[in-house]
Structure 1
Amino acid sequence: MEINFTGSRVLVTGAGQGIGRELVKKLVAAGATVVALSQTQSRLDSLAKELNVKTVCVDIGDWEATRRAVESIGPIDCLVNNAAVALLDSFLNVSPDDFDRSFAVNVKAIINVSQVVVRGMIDRKKGGSIVNLSSQASQAALADHTVYCGTKAAVDQISKVMALELGPHNIRVNCVNPTVVMTEMGKIGWSKPEKAGPMLSKIPLGRFSEVEDVVNAIMFLLSDKAAMINGVTLPVDGGFLAC
């Protein structure tokens, strides 16, 4: 199945590394004009050296700065809200700062960026597609993930409300919910057998997700091949949530 984004302008947040960076590469290869957003200028610079992309550097935890940045981008046909932070600690050690930062980046930023993009979609009356990156942690309790689980559960439900309200404008909103993903950071964090073993034992396919697994799911939901799919949370977890 060939997916083609020729003629589409796509905004990807958290585009400097990991899933976001690989997604940008695949979108460009599929013909999209991509706007890559990250808070780290050096990562955007290295991405721009590889690909013909427009870059925007902003901390999406800053509501007003992000709003100004996204408003300056121009019309967007597809949006991937990928940026997130994972500030992990036990329940009794959750701090106000980590709580506020997590919800500012993982939840409020999705609302903020999407509001700006969606208003443009509605004005142009062309519809659009949004994919929000969630996690298996939205539906399964994980130790030391109190705040992270909370943010991703919020992402799932906010996305469903977006799908309900924006559907009449022909704007689809869906979530992708991965398990542990083997990004560079994922490989470092989950390389020890004593940590990886218990999680892998709960995944029927017996492995963690590769970046490409997640990127392929995003590409499909973003594309017109998924034209009748709206308001779903799609696990990319090897069956973790089925158990």
Structure 2
Amino acid sequence: MTAVLPQTPSFRLDGRRALVTGAGRGLGLAAATALARAGAEVTLCARSRSELEAVAETMCAEGLAADTLVLDVTDITSFAAAIEARPPYHVFVNNAGTNRPKPFTDVTPEDFDVVMGLNVRAAFFAAQAVCRRMIAAKIAGSVIHVSSQMGHVGGERRSIYCASKWAMEGFSKSMALDLAPHGIRVNTLCPTFIETPMTRPFFADATFRANVLAKIKLGRIGTVEDVMGAVLFLASDASALMTGSSLLIDGGWTAD
């Protein structure tokens, strides 16, 4: 008697188009690299033309498929117009974000508006623009919101950031319900503290670094490489039955 073995779903993305916002550095750069190496044609989106062109040039030199989209995602009208003018995407990594760490009593209306404007408003309408194109083209795609462990817990000096990521967790679940009939999956990726150009200055504070390490049970700050496999999993057929969920890469932070 011969056993019938199941086939492992593919992590490959050949023939698919992927859009990554905040792709010039940090997590966005890592996500774009992971997707391109899996065969996707990747559009790198950010405000900095020089950063994007340098990344695209390096990727193309490696034989990867990459182009650039230089714009500010907070300009939701321009972003929607740019997406409408391009072929639809199969994968969207909604990564652009920011933080202004301050004690709750020191947060200004400007701080609130900047963080919520990018992390919530721009992220929401960027996803809307991309998903409208997916639906029109009848693409069963994957939307990956780059959220945070702070969308599941609280943190000192993180009141606005936590508010923005809890909001993202909420609208992501509702998106998943609305888009499931179209075959579009929506999930969040929730890393712990990852060393990137945005977070590196925080770790110069020895007390802050020690406090973070005390909560990461695996005992180290995350790297962008720690997130790359998770992005590929959520983008590919390997996660075909996963939607409305959160994938926590937090070294055990939220387990305590």
Structure 1 Cα separation of the partners of residues 41 and 76 of structure 2: 25
| Whole-angstrom CA distance in 2 between matches of 1:91 and 1:22 | 32
Q: Distance in 2 between matches of 1:198 and 1:89?
A: 16
Residue 99 (structure 2) aligned to one of 69, 81, 86: 86
Deviation at 1:30, TM superposition (A): 1.1
Which residue of structure 2 aligns with residue 152 of structure 1?
165
5+ residue gaps, structure 1: none
Native 8 Å contact 1:89 1:144 kept in 2:
yes
Offset, 1:19: 0.9
- Tell me if structure 2 keeps the 8 A contact 1:208–1:237: no
Instruction: Give matches, 1:179-198, under 5 Å.
Output: 179-198=192-211
CA distance in 2, matches of 1:9, 1:63: 21
- Among candidates 185, 209, 217, match of residue 222 of structure 2: 209
Counterpart for residue 4 of structure 1: 12
* Contact 2:195/2:221, CA 8 A, preserved across alignment: yes
Which residue of 170, 186, 189 maps to 1:173? 186
Task: Select between 64-73 and 95-104 the one with higher mean Cα deviation.
Answer: 64-73
Say which SS state the counterpart of residue 98 (structure 2) adopts.
coil
Matches within 5 A, 1:31-180: 31-52=39-60, 53-180=66-193
The root-mean-square deviation of aligned C-alpha atoms, in Å, is 1.4
State the distance in 1 between where 2:167 and 2:223 align. 25
Segment of structure 1 superposing worse, 49-58 or 219-228:
49-58
CA deviation vs aligned residue, 1:34-79 (integer Å, no higher than 9, x gap)? 1110011111111122123110111111221222222223211110
Aligned partner of 1:200 in structure 2 is: 213
Aligned-pair distance for 1:201? 1.0
2:36 to 23, 28, 31: 28
The question of whether the paired residues in 1 share the 8 Å contact of 2:34 and 2:231 is answered with no
Percentage identity across paired residues of the two chains = 37
1:75–1:120 CA contact under 8 A, matched in 2: yes
Asked whether the 8 Å contact 1:60–1:109 carries over to 2, the reply is yes
Q: 2: distance between equivalents of 1:127 and 1:33? A: 17
Size of the alignment, in residue pairs? 243
2:153, 2:254 within 8 Å by CA — same for their partners in 1?
yes
| Residue aligned with 1:201, SS | helix
Structure 2: give runs of 5+ residues left out of the alignment: 1-7, 61-65
CA contact (8 A) 2:143 2:186 kept: yes
Deviations 1:60-103 (A, max 9, x none): 11221222222223211110000101122111111111211111
2:22 — aligned with what? 14
CA distance in 1 between counterparts of 2:179 and 2:196 reads: 32
Paired residue type of 1:35: T
